Amino acid sequence: MSIASPDLRALLRTGLSRSLVSLLIKVATAGLTYLMYVVLSRTMGGTEYGYFAFGLSLATVLAIGASVGQQTAILRYWPEEEVAGRHDKALEALRSGGALTLLAGIALSAVTLTGAAVMDAILHLPSWHLYAAAALILPMAFAEYWSSALRAQGSVWTALTPRDILWRVLTPLAVVALFALGAPLSGWQALLLTALLLALALALQYGLARLRRYEIAPGFGALRPYWRENGTASRWFLFGTVIDAAALNMDTIFIGLLVTAEAAGIYFNAFRTAGLLTLFMFAITLVVAPMVARHYHAGEMKQAQAITALCAWAGFLFSLVVFVGYLVFGDALLALFGAHSAEGYWVLILLSVGLLFDAATGPSRIVMMMTGHERAYVRIWGSIMLIGLVVELAVIPAFGLLGAAAVNALSRGVAQFAIAFWSHRNIGIDTTLWGAFRVRGLADAPRRMVPL
- 429: closest CA among 288, 285, 316, 296? 296
Start-to-end Cα distance in the chain: 39
Distance CA 277, CA 325 (A): 10
Amino acid at 253: I
| DSSP H helix total and E strand total for the chain | 16, 0
pLDDT values of the chain reduced to their tens digit, one per residue, 452 residues: 444 455 656 655 555 555 566 566 666 767 777 777 888 888 887 788 888 989 999 999 899 889 888 988 898 888 888 877 889 999 999 999 999 999 999 999 999 999 888 877 776 666 788 899 999 999 999 999 998 899 888 787 787 777 777 888 888 888 888 888 888 888 899 999 999 999 999 999 999 998 988 999 999 989 999 999 888 888 888 888 888 888 888 899 999 889 988 888 899 989 989 988 887 777 777 677 777 877 787 788 888 888 888 888 888 998 999 999 999 999 988 888 877 677 789 999 999 999 998 889 988 888 888 888 888 988 999 899 999 999 999 999 999 999 999 999 999 999 999 999 999 999 988 888 888 787 766 665 555 544 33
Find how far residue 430's CA is from the centre of its chain. Answer: 22
In the 8-state DSSP scheme, what is residue 167? I
- 36: closest CA among 193, 250, 211? 193
Distance CA 177, CA 254 (A): 32
Distance CA 273, CA 341 (A): 12
Provide the residue count of the chain: 452
In the 8-state DSSP scheme, what is residue 3? -
**Burial zone of 215 (CB within 10 Å; 0-12 exposed, 13-18 middle, 19+ buried):** middle
Distance CA 352, CA 347 (A): 8
Question: The whole model's pTM is what?
Answer: 0.71
Task: Print the SS3 string covering 317-343.
Answer: HHHHHHHHHHHHHHHHHHHCCCHHHHH
